């Protein structure tokens, strides 16, 4: 990763704890002044925006956030509405819910709201995404691919994401849905990118120095394709099993860190 990130990100692998300790959602709330700042819940990815918006509003209210708005874009014309544009401009934190990541990019791409999202991020707004909202943060995102299958050469559909985080491909619900194969295919096709697989109830908290810390009950898997010496990936014989040599993988747990610019993991610092 050549450049430092513009702003802060929290990327959640989905199914974060909403009823117990809520540690990840507490971390989200800690990034803003709960009395003064505005938190926006973006329900763009989901087909149940009212229900999902109400659920997260209730959680964030119980965690002490006073100013909460719902950004509901279900049509491209909604991404031109001045009310929605102003909402994002005022926000200190924007939280993308789960659903369908392609819905986010297809509704926002090329619109004034898309431009404002990038402007607010560069001006320090914290962006948070869970599940589909996690995948969309990267510049290239996985749309569909085989779960719990051996990696095959050309079984993956990918598309441009929002591009808030460069040179990474993020996958979510990682261990729970057996997605190692599809992330390996993604990195075989895009070896310059880091593959980051995030388990459920697990997040990476990314800062402007280009470092992230793992938080949550699961693991984060980082796949580095820069060392690949051979791969058979191509459009010929797409159902053939993928072959790939000399790929590097790190598995990180709660408290471990990773430096994106140097592609170096750092183990959890024990409290003395």
Mean pLDDT of the chain: 95
* pLDDT at position 238: 80
Catalytic residue chosen out of the listed positions 55, 81, 92, 149: 149
Q: How far is residue 234's CA from residue 211's CA, in Å, rounded to a whole number?
A: 33
Note whether 43 and 52 are within 8 A (CB): yes
Q: pLDDT band at 166, cuts 50/70/90?
A: very high
The model's pLDDT over 117-137, given as tens digits with 9 standing for 90+, comes to: 999 999 999 999 999 999 999
Other beta carbons less than 10 A from residue 256's beta carbon: 21
* pLDDT at position 1: 40
Q: Which residue has the tokens 């004034």?
A: 112
149 is catalytic: yes
Q: What is the sign, positive or negative, of the torsion defined by CA atoms of 243, 244, 245, 247?
A: negative
Q: pLDDT band at 236, cuts 50/70/90?
A: confident
173 is catalytic: yes
> What value does the mean pLDDT take over residues 68-80?
98
Q: How far is residue 28's CA from residue 40's CA, in Å, rounded to a whole number?
A: 12
Largest CA distance in the chain: 58
Interior/surface letters 185-213, b for 16+ CB within 10 angstroms, e for the rest = bbbbbbbebbbbbbbbbbbbbbeeebbbb
Catalytic residue chosen out of the listed positions 38, 120, 173, 189: 173
Structure tokens belonging to residue 48 = 């149940």
118 is catalytic: no
* pLDDT at position 269: 82
Catalytic residue chosen out of the listed positions 120, 131, 138, 193: 131
Provide CB contacts within 8 A for 52, sequence distance 6+: 43, 46, 97, 98, 99
- Say if residue 2's pLDDT is above 60: no
Residue 173: alpha-carbon gap to chain centroid: 11
In degrees and rounded to multiples of 5, residue 97 shows phi and psi of -80, 175
């Amino acid at each position: 990763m050549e450049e430092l990130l513009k702003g802060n990100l929290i990327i959640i692998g989905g199914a974060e704890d909403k009823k117990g300790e809520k540690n990840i959602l507490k971390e989200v709330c800690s990034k803003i002044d709960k009395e003064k700042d505005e938190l926006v819940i973006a329900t763009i990815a989901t087909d149940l925006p009212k229900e999902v918006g109400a659920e997260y509003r209730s959680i964030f209210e119980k965690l002490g956030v006073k100013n909460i708005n719902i950004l509901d874009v279900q049509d491209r014309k909604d991404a031109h509405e001045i009310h929605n544009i102003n909402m994002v401009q005022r926000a200190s934190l924007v939280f993308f819910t789960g659903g369908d990541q392609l819905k986010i990019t297809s509704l926002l791409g090329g619109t004034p709201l898309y431009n404002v999202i990038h402007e607010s991020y560069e001006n320090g707004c914290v962006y948070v995404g869970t599940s589909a909202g996690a995948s969309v943060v990267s510049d290239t995102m996985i749309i569909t691919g085989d779960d719990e299958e051996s990696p095959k050469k050309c079984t993956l559909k990918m598309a441009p994401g929002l591009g808030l985080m460069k040179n990474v491909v993020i996958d979510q619900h990682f261990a729970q849905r057996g997605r190692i194969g599809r992330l390996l295919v993604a990195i075989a096709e895009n070896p310059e990118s880091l593959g980051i697989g995030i388990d459920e109830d697990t997040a990476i908290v990314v800062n402007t120095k280009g470092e992230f810390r793992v938080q949550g009950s699961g693991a984060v898997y980082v796949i580095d394709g820069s060392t690949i010496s051979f791969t058979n990936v191509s459009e010929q014989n797409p159902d053939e099993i993928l072959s790939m040599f000399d790929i590097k993988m790190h598995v990180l747990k709660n408290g471990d860190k990773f430096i994106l610019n140097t592609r170096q993991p750092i183990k959890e610092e024990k409290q003395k």
